[in-house]
Chains A and B, each alone.
Chain A
Amino acid sequence: MRILEGEKVSKYFGGLRALSNVDFHIDQGEIVGLIGPNGAGKTTLFNLISGALVTKRGVIRFKDKKITGLKPYQICRLGVARTFQSVKIFANMPVLENVLLSSFFGMSTSASSSDATRAAIESLEFLNLSETRATPARDLTLANQKRLEVARALATNPEILLLDELMAGLTHTEVTEAMELITKLRDKGITIFMIEHVMKAIMSICDRIMVLHHGEKIAEGTPTEVCNSKKVVEVYLGE
């Protein structure tokens, strides 16, 4: 079943074409990777899905419901959660409150105080952050701040999770942990759509990969198919 799909999605910043006529779909339970050189339009696509940016060209549907034009908080409550490329935690709030906020406001039905607290604590446990719950979020390590972003997204009880460069800036061990985390999330029943530059991770955990270049989709397929695509090799390595 298609959980998320886009039809002819385009976005212009003034005269700059950030995305043009991108068609995509994501099936329930998949892990889909989104790759491409810098400036290819990957984060723009995420911003359009999550409602941070609005476009009049093209349609994005979540479970057959049109979500283009909705506000970010509405899209979040429908079941689409995301993390950010540059960490956007609530730095001066304790870890627990970071997560509580999203379980209070982000779930599809308005949560009671005890339900929200339970959801927040569960998602902190899932991310192994329970011990830091009283720490102000700014005092966490980068890896833990990124985990906190995932915990926060998870507390909104999402059906699909958009991960924007979760592994950028992490050490080898941390990357391995992050990969395990993503498979664990999928086993929980959450569909994953991820932007990533760490090829090792992309190749080993993604079911399918999409490649963007200059705002256009130039390739799509299983990791091996994408690796062997002439076009992709040209884009990354030159002719």
Chain B
Amino acid sequence: MNIATFAKRFWGQGLILILLILLATFPLYTMPLFGSDYPLIFLQAIIMFVILTVSWAFFSGPTGYISLAPAAFFGIGIYTTAVVGKSLPLLATVAAGGVVSFIIALLVGAVTLRLKGIFFAVFTFGLVVLIKELLLFWEITVTGTRGRFVLLVDNDTIYYIIFGILILTLLTTYFIRRSKFGMAMQSIGENEEAAAHMGVNVTLVKVITFAISAIFMGAAGAIMATKWTYVDPYVAFDIRMSFLPVLMAIFGGVGTYYGPILGSVVFSYLEELLLTKFPYYYMLTFGIILVVVILYLPGGVASLIERLRQRLQKGGLTGKHANT
């Protein structure tokens, strides 16, 4: 292999690696570079949305089961921190948030993943409300508290932990999607009955992958909870957290692996930008952009890049000699 083809093959990976290193060390130079913690906090929020969106798309993308449960698992993570955060070390708390979400997703999945289509979506939506009301009832009648105070953690630590969760999310979802289980998930989305007749234990595959996606949502909730001083069921179970990941994934394109990543980054950046630059026209502009993307880019923003790449490749073929 000569250097040119080597470079061609690996420059993409190299670029991603450099980006990751920059992101991993971001807290070291936010202060000297920007003079405030704002970029760091902003980046935390973006990463949180990437985690939620990627784990949502990991399950709902290939299987076609539209889940509106992210807010439920995110909220479970938040509440786990509120309950055990003061007695456990921070990393253990975050892990607990993931584990509790995983277990609840397993139970819920085993019952509800028999539902098809819109019924599953409606049920998962109901789940968010159900858990919220149950917790509220429990807090008022049993423990006698209305809300809870959460321990505070400094921004750098939050950043490192949420970045760690991001890496785990990306790696896990990537390798499962490429494995035979990824193929099984895809076949369920294509034709569930045929998949079952080809030896796929469809219930098991659906329940397990649904629960795996909940781990990351729960862990993200557990660490983000430390940003609030006070948590009650209304704060923890915000239904917006269910709809935003779905919107972001569709905005980016569910068909590719990087679509949801791209979608959540662009979407949350755009939201912040419009909110600060055009506070009065923010919702209007945002709505228009969404409508345009859905109408003209059914494959999401990712399809735009895919098209661009194809054009470049065609150009690359004709200009081959000039390049090498």
Give chain A's interface residues, CB within 8 Å of chain B: 50-52, 71-73, 76-77, 81-82, 84, 88-93, 97, 100-102, 104-107, 113, 116, 152-153, 156
Q: Which residue of A lies closest to B188 (CB)?
A: A90
Given contacts A84-B194, A104-B180, A105-B180, contact A93 B199 (CB under 8 A): no
Q: Is B88 an interface residue (CB 8 A)?
A: no
Which residues from 185 to 214 on chain B have a C-beta closer than 8 Å to any C-beta of chain A?
186-187, 190-191, 193-202
Cβ 8 A contact of A93, one of B180, B190, B193: B190
Contact A72 B197 (CB under 8 A): yes
Q: Which residues of A contact B196 (CB under 8 A)?
A: 51-52, 71-73, 76
- Cα distance A106–B197 in the bound complex, in angstroms: 8
Q: Which residues of A contact B180 (CB under 8 A)?
A: 100-101, 104-105, 113, 116
- Cα distance A91–B64 in the bound complex, in angstroms: 14
Contact B199 A90 (CB under 8 A): no
Contact B193 A90 (CB under 8 A): no
- Cα distance A90–B198 in the bound complex, in angstroms: 11
Q: Which residue of B lies closest to A102 (CB)?
A: B198
- Kindly provide the distance from the CB of B303 to the nearest chain A CB, expressed in whole angstroms: 15
- Cα distance A91–B195 in the bound complex, in angstroms: 12
- Cα distance A189–B180 in the bound complex, in angstroms: 29
Contact A73 B200 (CB under 8 A): yes
Q: Which residue of A lies closest to B198 (CB)?
A: A102
Contact A90 B200 (CB under 8 A): no
Contact B202 A101 (CB under 8 A): no
Q: Which residues of B contact A91 (CB under 8 A)?
A: 190-191
Residue from the set B183, B194, B198, B202 with the largest chain A CB neighbour count within 10 Å: B198
Contact B183 A101 (CB under 8 A): yes
Q: Which residues of B contact A72 (CB under 8 A)?
A: 193, 196-197
- Cα distance A51–B201 in the bound complex, in angstroms: 13
Q: Is B184 an interface residue (CB 8 A)?
A: yes
Q: Which residue of B lies closest to A75 (CB)?
A: B197
Q: Which residues of A contact B194 (CB under 8 A)?
A: 84, 88-90
- Kindly provide the distance from the CB of B203 to the nearest chain A CB, expressed in whole angstroms: 8
Cβ 8 A contact of B191, one of A73, A90, A102, A153: A90
- Kindly provide the distance from the CB of A27 to the nearest chain B CB, expressed in whole angstroms: 23
Q: Which residues of B contact A152 (CB under 8 A)?
A: 198
- Cα distance A77–B197 in the bound complex, in angstroms: 9
- Cα distance A197–B199 in the bound complex, in angstroms: 28
Give chain B's interface residues, CB within 8 Å of chain A: 180, 183-184, 186-187, 190-191, 193-202
Contact B197 A50 (CB under 8 A): yes
Given contacts A73-B202, A88-B191, contact A100 B183 (CB under 8 A): yes
- Cα distance A82–B283 in the bound complex, in angstroms: 53
Cβ 8 A contact of A97, one of B183, B193, B200, B202: B183
Contact B190 A52 (CB under 8 A): no
Q: Which residues of B contact A73 (CB under 8 A)?
A: 196-202
- Cα distance A72–B193 in the bound complex, in angstroms: 9
8 more A-B residue pairs beyond the given contacts A101-B198, A104-B183, with a C-beta to C-beta distance below 8 A: A76-B196, A76-B197, A89-B190, A93-B190, A97-B183, A101-B183, A101-B195, A105-B198
Given contacts A100-B183, A101-B183, A101-B184, contact A76 B193 (CB under 8 A): no
Q: Which residues of B contact A50 (CB under 8 A)?
A: 197
Q: List 20 interface pairs A-B (beta carbons < 8 Å), by A numbering.
A: A50-B197, A71-B196, A71-B201, A73-B198, A73-B201, A76-B197, A81-B197, A88-B191, A89-B190, A90-B190, A91-B191, A92-B190, A93-B183, A93-B186, A101-B184, A101-B198, A102-B199, A105-B184, A105-B200, A156-B198
Cβ 8 A contact of A106, one of B183, B191, B193, B199: B199
- Cα distance A81–B194 in the bound complex, in angstroms: 11
- Kindly provide the distance from the CB of A34 to the nearest chain B CB, expressed in whole angstroms: 18
- Kindly provide the distance from the CB of A84 to the nearest chain B CB, expressed in whole angstroms: 7
- Cα distance A113–B180 in the bound complex, in angstroms: 9
Contact B186 A76 (CB under 8 A): no
Q: Which residues of B contact A84 (CB under 8 A)?
A: 193-194
- Cα distance A118–B187 in the bound complex, in angstroms: 20
Q: Which residue of B lies closest to A155 (CB)?
A: B198
- Cα distance A51–B183 in the bound complex, in angstroms: 22
Contact A107 B198 (CB under 8 A): no
- Kindly provide the distance from the CB of A50 to the nearest chain B CB, expressed in whole angstroms: 6
Contact A76 B190 (CB under 8 A): no
- Cα distance A153–B197 in the bound complex, in angstroms: 9
Given contacts A84-B194, A88-B194, A90-B194, contact A107 B187 (CB under 8 A): no
- Kindly provide the distance from the CB of B78 to the nearest chain A CB, expressed in whole angstroms: 37
Q: Which residues of B contact A93 (CB under 8 A)?
A: 183, 186-187, 190
Q: Which residues of A contact B201 (CB under 8 A)?
A: 71, 73, 105
